Each structure stands twice: as C-alpha cells, then as structure tokens.
C-alpha cells in the first residue's frame, strides 16, 4: 500500500513538473519548482540588485580564483529518492572559470561544479532561510551565501551534509562587517553597502 501511495505521489509530482516546465511566466518574473510547489517571483527591487552587484563586483576583483557568475542560471537539484527534482534559480551561482560550466549548460543544469550560490531575501525570506538552504545542502553545494535584508545579516553556510540536508557550519555578520569567504575565494566580503 505504501508503494502505491508513493507512486501516486510521484505521478502527481511529475504532473506538477510537466506544468512547471511548460509554464509561460510574465515578462521579468522567474518561476521555480521548490519542494513540489511552483513559485513565481516578480522582478527584483533595486536594493536586491544593488547587493548582488556589490557581491559580484567583489568576487570578480578579489577572488583568488577567477570565477564565472550567473544571476539567471537554473539549477536542477535532488529531491526525494524516486520523485521529481527541485528547479531553482539562485540570485547568484558561482563556479571556477576554468570549469566553464555555463557555456554548454542547458537551461536547468545540475549543481556539480558550482562552488557557491547566493540569495538575497525579499518578499518571502523563509524560503531562502529554510527551504532553499536544505535544497542546496542536499545537492552538496559547498557554500551558500545568504543576505538577509530583514535581519540585516549576511550568513555563509558551509560543509553541506547531504544526509541531514543541512549545512554543518554557519558564519554570520551584521551589515557593515566583513565576512571571510574561504577558498577558492579567499577574501573578506565587504558588506557596508548592503545596509
């Protein structure tokens, strides 16, 4: 009986995935499939983009390893044992330039080779604080940079544990304080402009 219920659940999730993959979103918005829920987000506000711009500027100029960055790269992440995956679009996806991950990637690529993802909270901060945190950890993304505008903090989550679907380490600073990014970045991220 449990297998039949699981099969029906997976069939429903496959139907949701099919709808999601064929969704025609309004111009400027983005759609994600997170833990079986289709989420459509409007274009980000100015402060959100300013923070991402400051992060990208610093990564481009200070990182010990040259990094590629995408603000629109869809990631296909694991979900459950036999059911559909999560389809997320982080605010920032970072990978060593030497890997050249983005050039031949499909619209939705696996997270293999991604060094860090970044999210800047907006209208639904709990999705970034909790749900995406677990998605990224389960996928084994080494670093998750979370800029929490409501709390005025920047957190770096590291050491993903796929089994517990969470990160083992968290380093948090308030806006205005530098946050040390480990290798391959190896620099202190300035957060003064985030406030």
**Residue whose entry in the numeric block shows the structure tokens 């997170």:** 34
pLDDT given at position 166: 93
Helix, strand, coil share of the chain (percent; to 5): 30, 30, 40
> Cα dist. 139→8, 53, 107 in Å?
25, 25, 17
The single-letter DSSP state of residue 46 is H
pLDDT given at position 174: 98
pLDDT given at position 84: 60
Under 8 Å between Cβ of 109 and 77: no
pLDDT given at position 6: 46
pLDDT given at position 101: 95
Distance CA 146, CA 164 (A): 19
pLDDT given at position 82: 44
| Domains located in the chain, CATH noted | 44-194 (3.90.1570.10)
**Residue whose entry in the numeric block shows the structure tokens 């909270």:** 121
Q: pTM for this structure?
A: 0.85
Q: Which helix (H) or strand (E) holds 79?
A: none
Per-residue pLDDT tens listing for the chain (195 residues): 455 554 546 666 777 777 777 778 877 777 777 777 777 777 776 788 999 999 999 999 999 999 999 998 999 998 754 446 789 999 999 999 999 999 999 999 999 999 999 999 987 888 889 889 999 999 999 999 999 999 999 999 999 999 898 999 999 999 999 999 999 999 999 999 999
Q: How many helices (H) and strands (E) does the chain have?
A: 4, 13
pLDDT given at position 46: 78
The single-letter DSSP state of residue 27 is T
Cβ-in-10-Å burial (0-12, 13-18, 19+) of 187 comes to: middle
Calculated CA dihedral for residues 48, 51, 55, 58, nearest 10 degrees: 150
């Amino acid at each position: 009986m449990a297998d039949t219920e699981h099969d029906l659940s997976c069939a429903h999730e496959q139907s949701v995935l099919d709808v999601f993959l064929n969704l025609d979103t309004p111009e400027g918005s983005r759609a994600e499939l997170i833990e079986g829920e289709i989420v459509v987000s409007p274009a980000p506000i100015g402060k959100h983009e300013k923070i991402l711009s400051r992060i990208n500027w610093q990564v481009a100029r200070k990182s010990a390893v040259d990094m590629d960055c995408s603000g629109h790269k869809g990631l296909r992440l694991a979900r459950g044992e036999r059911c559909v995956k999560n389809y997320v679009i982080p605010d920032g996806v970072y990978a060593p330039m030497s890997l050249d991950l983005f050039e031949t990637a499909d619209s939705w690529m696996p997270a293999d080779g991604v060094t860090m993802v970044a999210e800047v909270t907006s209208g639904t901060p709990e999705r970034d604080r909790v749900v995406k945190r677990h998605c990224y950890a389960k996928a084994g993304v080494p670093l998750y940079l979370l800029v929490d505008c409501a709390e005025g903090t920047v957190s770096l989550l590291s050491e993903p544990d796929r089994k517990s679907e969470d990160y083992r380490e968290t380093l948090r600073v308030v806006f205005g304080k530098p946050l040390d990014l480990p290798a391959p970045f190896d620099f202190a991220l300035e957060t003064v402009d985030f406030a």
